[in-house]
Amino acid sequence: MVRRLLFFSILRTRSARKKLVGWSVIVLLGVFVGTGCEDDAPSRLTDLAAQSAKDPTSVRPAPPDQPPGTREELARRIARELEALEIEAGIDRGHDPPAPGGDLAHDIEAFTTLDACVRAHRVTDPVLADAVDSLGYDTLVRDACRILQALKAKDGKLCLPIAASPLRQRCEVQVAILAGEPARCPLAVGGSPVQGREPICLARASRDERLCAAALPADRAVCKAMVSGRSNECGSDDACIRQVERYRTLLEKPPNLAPFASRLRVEFVSDRAKSETYQGGFDLDDVAAAGAIARGAGDKVRLVIGPPKNGLWPSWDSPHATPLLSLVLSLPTKMPTASAKGDGAPGWVLGPSDLSLDLLIPHIALLSGTLASDRRVVFENVSAVSGSPIRFTLTTNVSDAGRTFRVKIDGETFVRDGLDARPGAKLR
């Protein structure tokens, strides 16, 4: 009987594994520094480490003597500070030598049966065998061979018997990439159909590095390198280099594609009858560049733009708050005629269930669509087909703490994750 690995449920992706190991070292460092070292580490680093262990991309606060920057800039700064502390503490973070890339095309061609594959790739090193025994994963080699079996058949169902969920998802991802069918990509870790499929898998299966904009900031460069097949863009990421080498003879060179049109402008003004009036605007073009998730909903298309609001959003009055938007629109596939709109006012009237909105306006308010009224949207034809353009202008009134804001969101983006027009269709 196969013994399941208890820790595999949390080590779901390559990035998650690297970040978990890295932040675990930092948490241990904080313990050692707090209990045995003469020079205490700054408490803010301990707080950042604890928060980053939950979500490494969520760390936003900047030190008081430095203005907040982008997520990438902040991540690099934190990494430098923590690396310096590790050096001072004498912590050795040595890594195993990189594994050989090999040729995946050759491995797939050589596959005949599961039993033959297991015999050919069995664990022969006693030290590694001890580790496998300790982990309790006595079907590790067989499950690795199941990936080759699924790739040769281009059948994701053959991944289902794999015991470890990260390896099973990896199998599904590789089948989608090899087949060039983004619809086969699994859902993002912890996600739902509304939140969409794993973005790096979508980009690689579509052979379209433009879709890497939806990946986590720390993973975008690696995503583009793997899609384009340019190992020199992997930087020092050995796993990325290995992936590029392994797929080199399997995948065709992706075409040069023009960037998707993407822009998103938010403007707001509070009730002018109040003694204190707020008015302003900001651009969220990075949200538009990541594209939208489209799902059919009866005679409408449900569009998800921006990541969903979660407990890691800062409060609106935080000194380090930045603009954030989560928007869900349910629209008919065609803009109704003026007679169908009824009152002749511009735009299609949205019902309460047609709009979900969370908008953080730094130092002013956190607005919620549950308190919205006069919801209207002007748009062109909407499609759930991947690659379809989306253009819309949304206007609504949103109440907050006795104040009413008139909000206008003008956006242009595309369907990143939707329906394939045909099997194997790629975005263009």
Asked if residue 269 and residue 410 are part of one domain, the reply reads yes
Asked if residue 326 and residue 217 are part of one domain, the reply reads no
- For position 83, what pLDDT does the model report? 65
Asked if residue 409 and residue 326 are part of one domain, the reply reads yes
Q: How confident is the model at residue 54 (pLDDT cuts 50, 70, 90)?
A: very low
Identify whether the C-beta of residue 414 lies closer than 8 Å to the C-beta of residue 276: no
Residue 64, pLDDT above cutoff 50: no
Residue 159, pLDDT above cutoff 70: yes
Residue 11, pLDDT above cutoff 50: no
- For position 76, what pLDDT does the model report? 61
What single-letter amino acid sits at 32? F
* 333 or 16: which leads in pLDDT: 333
Rounded to an integer, what distance in angstroms lies between the CA atom of residue 207 and that of residue 295? 22
Asked if residue 349 and residue 312 are part of one domain, the reply reads yes
Residue 19, pLDDT above cutoff 70: no
Return the closest-CA partner of residue 391 out of 409, 367, 416, 368. Answer: 409
When pLDDT is averaged across residues 135-152 and rounded to a whole number, the result is 94
Residue 74, pLDDT above cutoff 70: no
pLDDT in tens, 77-111: 676 677 667 666 666 566 777 777 788 999 999 99
Stated pTM of the model: 0.72
Residue 345, pLDDT above cutoff 70: no
Residue 48, pLDDT above cutoff 50: no
Three-state DSSP string of the chain: CCCCCCHHHCCCCHHHHHHHHHHHHHHHHHHHHHHHCCCCCCHHHHHHHHHHHHCCCCCCCCCCCCCCCCHHHHHHHHHHHHHHHHHHHCCCCCCCCCCCCCCHHHHHHHCCCHHHHHHHCCCCCHHHHHHHHHHCCCCHHHHHHHHHHHHHHCCHHHHCCCCCHHHHHHHHHHHHHHHCCHHHCCECCCCCCCCCECHHHHHHHHCCHHHHHHCCHHHHHHHHHHHHCCHHHCCCCHHHHHHHHHHCCCCCCCCCCCCCCCEEEEEEEECCCCCCCCEEEEECHHHHHCCEEEEEECCEEEEEECCCCCCCCCCCCCCCCCCEEEEEEEEECCCCCHHHHCCCCCCEECCHHHEEEEEEECCCEEEEHHHEEEEEEEECCCCCECCCEEEEEEEEEEEECCEEEEEEEEEEEEEEECECCCCCCCCC
1 in any annotated domain: no
422 in any annotated domain: no
426 in any annotated domain: no
- For position 167, what pLDDT does the model report? 94
Contacts of the segment 252-258: beta carbons below 8 A, 24+ positions apart? 252/207, 253/229, 254/207, 254/208, 254/209, 254/227, 254/228, 254/229, 255/207, 257/208, 257/210, 257/428
When pLDDT is averaged across residues 246-253 and rounded to a whole number, the result is 88
Residue 20, pLDDT above cutoff 50: no
Asked if residue 277 and residue 214 are part of one domain, the reply reads no
- For position 253, what pLDDT does the model report? 85
Asked if residue 207 and residue 85 are part of one domain, the reply reads no
What single-letter amino acid sits at 261? A
Rounded to an integer, what distance in angstroms lies between the CA atom of residue 158 and that of residue 175? 10
Residue 59, pLDDT above cutoff 50: no
Q: How confident is the model at residue 298 (pLDDT cuts 50, 70, 90)?
A: confident
* 22 or 287: which leads in pLDDT: 287
When pLDDT is averaged across residues 234-260 and rounded to a whole number, the result is 89
Number of structural domains the chain divides into: 3
- For position 347, what pLDDT does the model report? 80
Q: How confident is the model at residue 401 (pLDDT cuts 50, 70, 90)?
A: confident
Identify whether the C-beta of residue 427 lies closer than 8 Å to the C-beta of residue 227: no
Residue 300, pLDDT above cutoff 80: yes
- For position 277, what pLDDT does the model report? 84
330 in any annotated domain: yes
Asked if residue 187 and residue 57 are part of one domain, the reply reads no
When pLDDT is averaged across residues 333-360 and rounded to a whole number, the result is 77
Identify whether the C-beta of residue 407 lies closer than 8 Å to the C-beta of residue 266: yes
Return the closest-CA partner of residue 174 out of 254, 241, 247. Answer: 247
Residue 318, pLDDT above cutoff 90: yes
Window from 8-12, 79-83, 304-308 with minimum mean pLDDT:
8-12
Which of 203, 222, 247 finishes a domain? Answer: 247
Share of the chain above pLDDT 90, in %: 53
377 in any annotated domain: yes
98 in any annotated domain: no
Residue 36, pLDDT above cutoff 60: no
Asked if residue 274 and residue 143 are part of one domain, the reply reads no
Residue 30, pLDDT above cutoff 50: no
Residue 187 vs residues 134, 162, 173, 197: alpha-carbon distances, Å: 31, 17, 10, 4
Which of 66, 89, 112 finishes a domain? Answer: 89
Residue 260, pLDDT above cutoff 90: yes
Domain extent at residue 399: 263-417
210 in any annotated domain: yes
Asked if residue 139 and residue 26 are part of one domain, the reply reads no
Asked if residue 47 and residue 147 are part of one domain, the reply reads no
Q: How confident is the model at residue 344 (pLDDT cuts 50, 70, 90)?
A: low
